[in-house]
Structure 1
Amino acid sequence: MNEFSSVDKSVFNKALLNPSAIALIGASSNLKKNTARPLLFMKKHGFNGEIYPVNPGADRILGEKVYPSVADLPEGIEHAFVMIDSAGVESVIEQCAARKIPVVTIYSDGFGEAGPQGMQKQQQLLEKAKQLGVRLLGPNSIGSANIQTGAIISVNAVFEMDNLLKGDISLVSQSGSMMGSLMSRAVARGFGFSKTVSVGNECDISTGEIVDALVDDDSTRVILLFLETLRDTATLTKALKRARQAGKPVITYKLGRSEQGDALSQSHTGAIAGNNAAIDAYFQANGVIRVNSLETLFEIAPLVSRYAHLRPAAYAETPVRVAVITTTGGGAATVVDNLGLAGIEAVAPTTEFIGQMAARGLNIRQTPVIDLTLAATSDQYRDLLNELVKTDWCDAVLSVVGSSAQFHPQLAIKPILETFESGNANNKPLVVFLSPDAPESLKLLQAANIGAFRTPEGCADALAAFFRPVIQDTEPAATEEFVLGEDYPQTGNFNEAEANRLFAHLGIPQAASQLVSTTDLAHQVPYPLVLKVVSRDILHKTDVGGVSINIQNDQHLQEAAQSMLAKVEKNAPAALIEGLYIQQMEGRLIELMLGYRHDPLVGPTVILSTGGITAELNPDFSIRTAPVSLTEARQMINEVQYTKLIRGYRNLPEGDCEGLAQAIVNFSKLALIRKQPVAEAEINPLFIQKDKVIAVDGVIRLKD
Structure 2
Amino acid sequence: MSVGLDALFSPRSIALIGASDDSTRIGGRPLKYLRGSGFAGPVYPVNPRRETVQGERAYASIVDLPTVPDLALLAVPAAATRQAVEDCASAGVKAATIFAAGFAEMGEEGKAEQARIVAAARASGLRLLGPNCLGAADAASGYYGTFSVMLDDGFLTPGPVAIVSQSGAYGSHIAQLARNRCMGIRHWITTGNECDVDVAEALRWVVERDEVKVVMTYAEGVRNRASFFEALDIARRRGIGVVMLKVGRSEAGAHAVGSHTAALAGSDVVFDAICRQYGVYRARSTAEQIDVAYALSRAGVPSGNTLGIFSMSGGLGIQMADDGDAAGLEITPMPAAAQAELKALLPYASPVNPVDATAQAMTDLPLMTRYIQVVLEQGGYDMFVAILGTTPALPSYSARLAEALEAAGDGNGIIRAVTMSAPVETVRAYEARGFLVFEDSVALTRALGALVTFRGSFARAAAATSEMPALPAPFTRTGALSEHSAKALLADAGIPFPRECLAATPDDAAAAAKAIGFPVVLKICSPDVPHKTDVGGVLVGLKDEAAVRAGAALLVERALAAVPDARVEGVLVAPMIGGGAEVIAGISIDAALGPVVMFGLGGVFVEVLKDVTFRAVPFSVEEAHRMIAETSAAVVLKGVRGATPGDIDALAETLAALSRFAAANEAGLAGVDINPIRVMPAGEGVVPLDALVLLAE
5 Å-filtered alignment, 1:146-295, equals 146-162=138-154, 164-257=156-249, 275-295=267-287
Report the more deviating stretch, 247-256 or 405-414: 405-414
Q: Whole-Å Cα distance in 1 between the matches of residues 380 and 594 of structure 2?
A: 40
CA-CA distance at 1:601 after TM superposition: 2.6
Q: Are residues 552 and 95 of structure 1, via their aligned partners in 2, closer, same or farther at CA, if it must alter by over 3 Å?
A: same
Q: Whole-Å Cα distance in 2 between the matches of residues 150 and 90 of structure 1?
A: 28
Q: Are residues 651 and 441 of structure 1, via their aligned partners in 2, closer, same or farther at CA, if it must alter by over 3 Å?
A: farther
Q: Which residue of 1 aligns with 2:49?
A: 57
Looking at both structures, which has the greater relative contact order when contacts are Cα pairs under 8 Å and sequence separation is at least 6?
1
- Classify the secondary structure of the residue corresponding to 1:550: strand
Q: Which residue of 1 aligns with 2:437?
A: 452
Report the more deviating stretch, 157-166 or 687-696: 157-166
Question: Contact 1:328–1:371 at 8 Å: present in 2 too?
Answer: yes
1:120 is aligned with what amino acid?
A: A
Q: Are residues 643 and 362 of structure 1, via their aligned partners in 2, closer, same or farther at CA, if it must alter by over 3 Å?
A: same
Q: Does 1:401 align with 2:388?
A: yes
Q: Whole-Å Cα distance in 2 between the matches of residues 259 and 172 of structure 1?
A: 25
Q: Whole-Å Cα distance in 1 between the matches of residues 687 and 253 of structure 2?
A: 31
Q: Does 1:601 align with 2:586?
A: no
Q: Whole-Å Cα distance in 2 between the matches of residues 425 and 19 of structure 1?
A: 41
Question: Contact 1:105–1:136 at 8 Å: present in 2 too?
Answer: yes
5 Å-filtered alignment, 1:670-685, equals 670-674=661-665, 676-685=667-676
Question: Contact 1:260–1:600 at 8 Å: present in 2 too?
Answer: no
Match of 2:544 among 548, 553, 557: 553
CA-CA distance at 1:337 after TM superposition: 4.9
Question: Contact 1:55–1:67 at 8 Å: present in 2 too?
Answer: yes
Match of 2:623 among 607, 632, 639: 632
Match of 2:576 among 582, 585, 588: 585
Q: Which residue of 2 aligns with 1:534?
A: 525
Provide Cα deviations, 1:216-258, integer angstroms capped at 9, x if missing partner: 5454332221111222232233333433444333222222349
Q: Whole-Å Cα distance in 2 between the matches of residues 368 and 543 of structure 1?
A: 59
Q: Whole-Å Cα distance in 1 between the matches of residues 607 and 378 of structure 2?
A: 41
Q: Whole-Å Cα distance in 2 between the matches of residues 381 and 46 of structure 1?
A: 48
Q: Are residues 55 and 259 of structure 1, via their aligned partners in 2, closer, same or farther at CA, if it must alter by over 3 Å?
A: farther
Provide Cα deviations, 1:484-542, integer angstroms capped at 9, x if missing partner: 15xxx324x43211122123222333222122347553323321122223333444444
- Classify the secondary structure of the residue corresponding to 1:531: strand
CA-CA distance at 1:196 after TM superposition: 0.7
Q: Are residues 509 and 149 of structure 1, via their aligned partners in 2, closer, same or farther at CA, if it must alter by over 3 Å?
A: closer
Q: Whole-Å Cα distance in 2 between the matches of residues 445 and 545 of structure 1?
A: 72
1:490 is aligned with what amino acid?
A: T
Q: Are residues 307 and 541 of structure 1, via their aligned partners in 2, closer, same or farther at CA, if it must alter by over 3 Å?
A: farther
5 Å-filtered alignment, 1:73-84, equals 73-84=65-76
Q: Are residues 207 and 479 of structure 1, via their aligned partners in 2, closer, same or farther at CA, if it must alter by over 3 Å?
A: farther
Question: Contact 2:247–2:254 at 8 Å: present in 1 too?
Answer: no
Q: Whole-Å Cα distance in 1 between the matches of residues 403 and 559 of structure 2?
A: 75
Q: Which residue of 1 aligns with 2:261?
A: none
CA-CA distance at 1:98 after TM superposition: 3.9
- Classify the secondary structure of the residue corresponding to 2:572: strand
Q: Which residue of 2 aligns with 1:700?
A: 693
Q: Whole-Å Cα distance in 2 between the matches of residues 570 and 455 of structure 1?
A: 66
CA-CA distance at 1:330 after TM superposition: 5.4
Provide Cα deviations, 1:73-93, integer angstroms capped at 9, x if missing partner: 221422211011222222212
Q: Whole-Å Cα distance in 2 between the matches of residues 196 and 598 of structure 1?
A: 33
Q: Whole-Å Cα distance in 1 between the matches of residues 121 and 316 of structure 2?
A: 56
Question: Contact 2:199–2:219 at 8 Å: present in 1 too?
Answer: no
Question: Contact 2:314–2:356 at 8 Å: present in 1 too?
Answer: yes
Q: Whole-Å Cα distance in 2 between the matches of residues 517 and 597 of structure 1?
A: 32
Q: Are residues 505 and 391 of structure 1, via their aligned partners in 2, closer, same or farther at CA, if it must alter by over 3 Å?
A: farther
Q: CA RMSD in A?
A: 3.5
Q: Which runs of 5+ in 2 are unaligned?
A: 256-265
Q: Does 1:509 align with 2:496?
A: yes
Q: Whole-Å Cα distance in 2 between the matches of residues 349 and 480 of structure 1?
A: 51
Q: Are residues 688 and 247 of structure 1, via their aligned partners in 2, closer, same or farther at CA, if it must alter by over 3 Å?
A: closer
- Classify the secondary structure of the residue corresponding to 1:400: strand
TM-score normalised over the length of structure 1 = 0.85
Q: Whole-Å Cα distance in 1 between the matches of residues 238 and 497 of structure 2?
A: 45
Q: Are residues 262 and 200 of structure 1, via their aligned partners in 2, closer, same or farther at CA, if it must alter by over 3 Å?
A: closer
Match of 2:485 among 498, 507, 514: 498
Provide Cα deviations, 1:34-73, integer angstroms capped at 9, x if missing partner: 3322223334444444322222223333222222222222
Question: Contact 2:416–2:434 at 8 Å: present in 1 too?
Answer: no
Q: Which residue of 2 aligns with 1:17?
A: 9
Question: Contact 1:303–1:431 at 8 Å: present in 2 too?
Answer: no
Report the more deviating stretch, 363-372 or 603-612: 363-372
Provide Cα deviations, 1:264-316, integer angstroms capped at 9, x if missing partner: xxxxxxxxxx933332343334333322221222322343346655478xxxx
Q: Whole-Å Cα distance in 1 between the matches of residues 167 and 22 of structure 2?
A: 26
CA-CA distance at 1:565 after TM superposition: 6.0
Q: Are residues 414 and 679 of structure 1, via their aligned partners in 2, closer, same or farther at CA, if it must alter by over 3 Å?
A: farther
Q: Whole-Å Cα distance in 2 between the matches of residues 441 and 568 of structure 1?
A: 78
Q: Are residues 31 and 305 of structure 1, via their aligned partners in 2, closer, same or farther at CA, if it must alter by over 3 Å?
A: closer
Q: Are residues 475 and 413 of structure 1, via their aligned partners in 2, closer, same or farther at CA, if it must alter by over 3 Å?
A: farther
Q: Which residue of 2 aligns with 1:462?
A: 447
TM-score normalised over the length of structure 2 = 0.86
CA-CA distance at 1:176 after TM superposition: 0.2
Report the more deviating stretch, 562-571 or 548-557: 562-571
Question: Contact 2:138–2:144 at 8 Å: present in 1 too?
Answer: yes
Q: Whole-Å Cα distance in 1 between the matches of residues 274 and 393 of structure 2?
A: 41
Q: Whole-Å Cα distance in 2 between the matches of residues 571 and 401 of structure 1?
A: 73
Report the more deviating stretch, 402-411 or 287-296: 402-411
Question: Sequence identity, in percent?
Answer: 27
Q: Whole-Å Cα distance in 1 between the matches of residues 136 and 383 of structure 2?
A: 37
Report the more deviating stretch, 159-168 or 117-126: 159-168
CA-CA distance at 1:670 after TM superposition: 1.2
Q: Does 1:433 align with 2:438?
A: no
